Structure 1
């Protein structure tokens, strides 16, 4: 079973289109999006349209929910740079879609008569705004996995991809937990400007105690970064957002 996970598109249409093209090559069995379709660029409605056209199951990100507080623009916006401008571009039907997205998705797999639980969230299971950074203490991450019964915990939000494996001792037997940050399609922050998404392969012949039962691969996809950056600079968004795209910070 091959599952593609992507997150934090942030209205970057050129990046998302490039990832969709790559998905056609990879041919995963399922595709899920971990939220933040909007903000920071000028194509929120086009991105949402493609998500729906391709039938990609999606959960809400913190920026997606922010549209409830910022209404679509009517007429001219202020000529001053405005970080809220990105939310004002979101159409009414697109707002309705974002505000009805689920917060979490849970998948269960049966491996050799054992259940493997995969939990998809945006920030963390506890809060949509929590950053699960790679350097967090192992005990904290383990408690999170146990509390929410996650063998594979997948999330975005920080825009910094990583795969971390931790072990727990349950009734005298070892259990493996995989922590996967998907990185960002449209606004990477790890110094690599290419779009990022994840392929998770689950070996159905293995068991939950086998570390290699879950394989995680990060894919980086070239796209027209300059097109996305110039779109920011030609809009009412802060020019700093364009610099973020070019330098991936």
Structure 2
């Protein structure tokens, strides 16, 4: 079985269209979206409608949660006063242009999706969230202390935890237990379709490959494939520059930061 996961489109329609072209070639058995459909670009309605139109099960990202409630708080963590000011422009603009139907849809999105597999004698739980199981806007960066990450997965009863929000993809395998009780858990950041921040301007998503041998007891029995795809970055950047949004968002797309 092959499951596709994508996240953090952030109103970037050219990137979403390129993602759909890529995923149609991959032919996964299931597709899930981990949220943040809107914010930072000019196509929140088009992106929302495109994902709805495909019937893709979708989570609420922190930006979706705020816009769904017409809030001026996106739940974002900005590092500087300039970033905070630009962020305020972004959510104000998004709240102005998003349609009533699209806002109502964003408001109804769930906070997580849990899938339970019974592939062998052991159960395998896959938990999909936007930020973390604890908070929609918690950042789980790759350098997080191992015991902290282990505790988050253990408390959430997640053998495989998939999330976005940081826009920086990674896969960490964590050991839980000792001796005959030893098992493996997977923390997977699926990256960003429309606003990557890892220095690679291409959009990204993840394919999870399950087989009848996939088990919590076998370290490498789950295959995690990170897929990158090209899209028209300049079209997305120029759309920002032709709007009331800060030009810094266009530069961030060009530099993937």
Match of 1:146 in 2: 154
1:119-153 CA-to-partner distances (Å, cap 9, x unmatched) read 00000001111100010111011111110100000
1:184 to 167, 187, 192: 192
User: In structure 2, how many angstroms separate the alpha carbons of the residues matched to 1:185 and 1:21?
Assistant: 12
Q: Does 1:237 align with 2:249?
A: no
SS of 1:42's equivalent in the other structure is coil
SS of 1:31's equivalent in the other structure is strand
Contact 1:118 1:153 in 2 (8 A): yes
| Cα drift, residue 86 of structure 1 | 2.4
For the aligned residues, what is the CA RMSD? 1.4
TM-score for the superposition, normalised by structure 1: 0.93
User: In structure 2, how many angstroms separate the alpha carbons of the residues matched to 1:11 and 1:87?
Assistant: 12
Contact 1:70 1:88 in 2 (8 A): no
User: In structure 2, how many angstroms separate the alpha carbons of the residues matched to 1:63 and 1:104?
Assistant: 15
| Cα drift, residue 219 of structure 1 | 0.6
- What stretches of structure 1 of length at least 5 have no aligned partner? 72-80
Higher helix content, 1 or 2 = 2
| Cα drift, residue 82 of structure 1 | 2.8
| Cα drift, residue 70 of structure 1 | 4.3
User: In structure 2, how many angstroms separate the alpha carbons of the residues matched to 1:196 and 1:171?
Assistant: 37
Match of 2:235 in 1: 227
TM-score for the superposition, normalised by structure 2: 0.91
SS of 1:106's equivalent in the other structure is strand
Match of 1:33 in 2: 33
Structure 1 runs of 4+ off > 4 angstroms? none
Contact 1:124 1:132 in 2 (8 A): yes
Q: Does 1:106 align with 2:114?
A: yes
Match of 1:193 in 2: 201
Match of 1:168 in 2: 176
Q: Does 1:45 align with 2:52?
A: no
| Cα drift, residue 171 of structure 1 | 7.5
Higher strand content, 1 or 2 = 1
Q: Aligned ranges for residues 70-81 of structure 1 at < 5 Å?
A: 70=71
| Cα drift, residue 69 of structure 1 | 2.9
| Cα drift, residue 202 of structure 1 | 1.1
User: In structure 1, how many angstroms separate the alpha carbons of the residues matched to 2:219 and 2:27?
Assistant: 24
User: In structure 2, how many angstroms separate the alpha carbons of the residues matched to 1:178 and 1:70?
Assistant: 34
Aligned length: 240
User: In structure 1, how many angstroms separate the alpha carbons of the residues matched to 2:4 and 2:70?
Assistant: 31
User: In structure 1, how many angstroms separate the alpha carbons of the residues matched to 2:221 and 2:209?
Assistant: 8
1:201-239 CA-to-partner distances (Å, cap 9, x unmatched) read 112233221122211111110000000000000000000
Q: Does 1:128 align with 2:144?
A: no
User: In structure 2, how many angstroms separate the alpha carbons of the residues matched to 1:216 and 1:9?
Assistant: 21
